[in-house]
Amino acid sequence: MNTLTQAPRSDASHLFSAPVIVAALGYFVDIYDLLLFGIVRIPSLVSLGLTEAEISITGASILNWQMTGLLLGGILWGVLGDKKGRLSVLFGSIITYSLANIACGFVQDPDVYKVLRFIAGVGLAGELGAGITLVSEILPKHLRAIGTSLVAGIGLLGAVVAYFTVEFFDWRYAYFIGGGLGVSLLLLRIGVFESGIFKDIKNQKHVEKGNFFALFTNRERLFRYLRCIGIGLPTWFVIGILATFSNEFGRALGIEEGIKPGLSIMWCYVGLSIGDLASGFISHWLESRKKAVFYLMIFTLIGSLVYLYAGLKTSTSFYATAGLLGFGIGYWAMFVTIGAEQFGTNLRATAATTVPNMVRGTVVLMTTLFATFKESFSVVNSGALVGVICFAIGIYCILTIPETHGRDLDFLEE
């Protein structure tokens, strides 16, 4: 006898559905392209004929242009994600940064390079927030933590692939490969469906959608938003200070073999990928976003103290510690998921897309503080002072933000 009742979908079929797989691959390409300039900065600027002094100044300027693009792009794609849909952002962002990266492979002028990295930054800003928002809304609430962790855990391996791509190919080909991966991904996205929760409000004209300034007009909502940003600060303290300036810390610790920042970042991202996969299962097991993030944050704090003050003397122990620090900040996907779950459907993409890019933007403040502290303190103590500020804010924010495990996401911000 025929029945109209469909058998319930298994957890595995939800977790390995097309939107989750495509979001994971999208973040993989996003991370590859996001970190690529940092990896090819010196060889690309040398080939453009710049001197060592010019490379330092121009390289920093290009990175600032890319970061500015990320900040502005976060707002742009977040608003579009709530006004036009999560898929429109996934398509638009990948087109933008893929074409910009292909163009970077042809660049002959540093000023053009700046503009292209700015455009790439704008495009790269939309990928993670839109992907996490879409996955959060289509998965059953008991699978959200695991699903979003799969997206980030797989995606962050893009950093490892970027490192080895540059090891084996010329920097121009590395850009072509990144752009080509993006275009290929675009074809995969054709079969992905829009979030049902968003579809329900899309044509409701009376619902205000994607108003970025609405995050600042209500005191309680503003503090929710600021806490979401604060939770992420320790992640970029590790990446932006401890890993990026690892050559300086290595010298200060007396490690004879020169420490390579690119290798430190790669090992950090290896740990980050594993930690992101683990954080979803930890949250699922504890039935709490807050506890999972808090425990990983404390692990990172202890790891930072080991990195700075345990007297590491070999490059092997140094890179191993970088990997452990990466595991600790593996709550990155959970932090973005918390940002998505804190806000109603009409502001969810705006919050989830701007929050990680606001955190990335704070790296400018961290590096400025680090440079200022070095005028009066040692490199190690300067790093520690920046860390104290980041961890104090991060721990306060995770302890005071509302718990979102198991929350129904079908609600609006008034």
> What value does the mean pLDDT of the chain take?
86
Q: Is the pTM of this model over 0.75?
A: yes
**Per-residue pLDDT for 6 more than 60?**
no
Q: Residue 312 pLDDT more than 90?
A: yes
Residue in 72, 110, 42, 51 with CA at minimum distance from that of residue 247:
42
Question: Rounded to 5 degrees, what angle do the CA atoms 45, 51, 52 make?
Answer: 90
Q: Which tokens go with 309?
A: 């003050």
Which residues lie closer than 8 Å to 401 by C-beta, 6 or more apart? Answer: 224, 227, 228, 231, 290, 338, 342
Q: Is the pLDDT of residue 76 over 70?
A: yes
pLDDT at position 176: 95
Taking the CA atoms of the chain, what radius of gyration do you get in angstroms? 21
The tokens describing 99, both together, are 């074409």
Q: Tell me the helices (H) and strands (E) count for the chain, helix number first.
A: 20, 0
How far is 32 from 160, CA to CA, in rounded Å?
8
- The 10s digit of each residue's pLDDT in 226-265 is 999 999 999 999 998 999 888 889 999 999 888 888 789 8
pLDDT computed for residue 127 by the predictor? 80
DSSP assignment of 225-260: HHHHHHHTHHHHHIIIIIITTHHHHHHHTT-SSPPP
DSSP assignment of 293-343 equals: HHHHHHHHHHHHHHHHHS---SHHHHHHHHHHHHHHTTTHHHHHHHHHHTS
- Percent of the chain residues topping a pLDDT of 70: 92
**Pair 157, 326: CB distance under 8 Å:** no
Q: Encoding tokens for residue 25?
A: 């691959």
Residue 52 pLDDT greater than 60, yes or no: yes
Taking every pair of Cα atoms in the chain, the longest distance, rounded to a whole number of angstroms, is 82
Residue 93 pLDDT grade (very low, low, confident, very high; cuts 50, 70, 90): confident
* Chain center to CA of 357: 8
For residue 182, count CB atoms less than 10 angstroms from its CB and return exposed for 0-12, middle for 13-18, buried for 19 or more: buried
Q: Per-residue pLDDT tens for 17-28?
A: 877 888 888 888
- Whole-number Å distance between alpha carbons of 55 and 184: 33
pLDDT band at 1 (very low <50, low <70, confident <90, very high): very low
Q: What was the pLDDT predicted at 55?
A: 83
| Residue matched to tokens 């940064």 | 97
Cβ neighbour number for residue 375 with a 10 Å cutoff: 7
Q: What confidence score (pLDDT) does residue 196 get?
A: 54
Asked: is 16-190+212-400 a CATH 1.20.1250.20 domain? The reply is: yes
For 207, other C-beta atoms within 10 Å of its C-beta total: 16
Q: pLDDT tens across 323-334, in order? A: 999 999 999 888
For residues 127 and 146, give the distance between their C-alpha atoms in angstroms, rounded to a whole number.
Answer: 19
Tell me what the mean pLDDT of segment 179-208 comes to. 67
| Position with higher pLDDT, 349 vs 111 | 111
> Distance between CA 365 and CA 371 in Å, rounded?
10
Q: How confident is the model at residue 317 (pLDDT cuts 50, 70, 90)?
A: very high
Average pLDDT on 180-203 reads: 67
> Which class for 86: exposed (0-12), middle (13-18), buried (19 or more C-beta within 10 A)?
buried
Assess whether pLDDT exceeds 50 at residue 101. yes
Q: Is residue 134 very low, low, confident or very high in pLDDT (cuts 50, 70, 90)?
A: confident
Q: Is the pLDDT of residue 4 over 60?
A: no
* Whether 155 contacts 33, CB under 8 Å: no
Spatial contact of 112 and 58, defined as CB atoms under 8 Å apart: no
The predicted structure's pLDDT at residue 191: 59
- Residue 3 binned pLDDT confidence (cut-offs 50, 70, 90): very low
Q: What is the rounded average pLDDT of the residues 179-205?
A: 68
